[in-house]
Structure formats: C-alpha cells, structure tokens
Amino acid sequence: MKITADLDLCQGHAVCQAEAPEFFDVPSRGTVEVLNRHPEPEAREAVERAVRYCPTQALMITEDD
C-alpha cells in the first residue's frame, strides 16, 4: 500500500496525525508531511482511520502493483 496526500486539499487539521502519528506530521501552520509512504500491512488500520477521518479527503491509499 502507498499513501498519497493532496496538499491542495489539506487544511492542516492534523486529524491524520492524531490517528497515525508515525505516518503523518502536521506543523502548527502548514500542510501534512507523510513520514512514510509505504506502511507495513500491520499499520493499515491506523492509516485507514486517518484517511477516513480527514475532514477534507486529502489522503488516499493506493495499492502497490
């Protein structure tokens, strides 16, 4: 799996960081930084929560080929 973030949509709410801090870092002013774009399968649940609860739908999970 691969995480992608649309920085045009991100408004810095940091919900993603609250759900999965090992993968998302959000500065107090600014947009999300994805710390690791290729999470291990064990992390899928946390990353999926971050994607689901992002208020602007800025995050996406795609599957690797």
Q: 50, 59 in Cβ contact below 8 A?
A: yes
Q: Does 3 bind ligand SF4 (CB under 6 A)?
A: no
Residues 27-46 that bind ligand SF4 (CB under 6 A): 31-32
User: Are 61 and 20 a contacting pair, CB within 8 Å?
Assistant: no
Q: Which is nearer to ligand SF4, 44 or 52 (CB)?
A: 52
Distance (Å, whole) CA 10 – CA 36: 17
Cβ closest to ligand SF4, residue 15 vs residue 47: 15
Question: Least Å distance between CB 65 and ligand SF4?
Answer: 24
Q: Binding residues for ligand SF4, per CB under 6 A?
A: 5, 10-16, 24, 26, 31-32, 54-56, 58-59
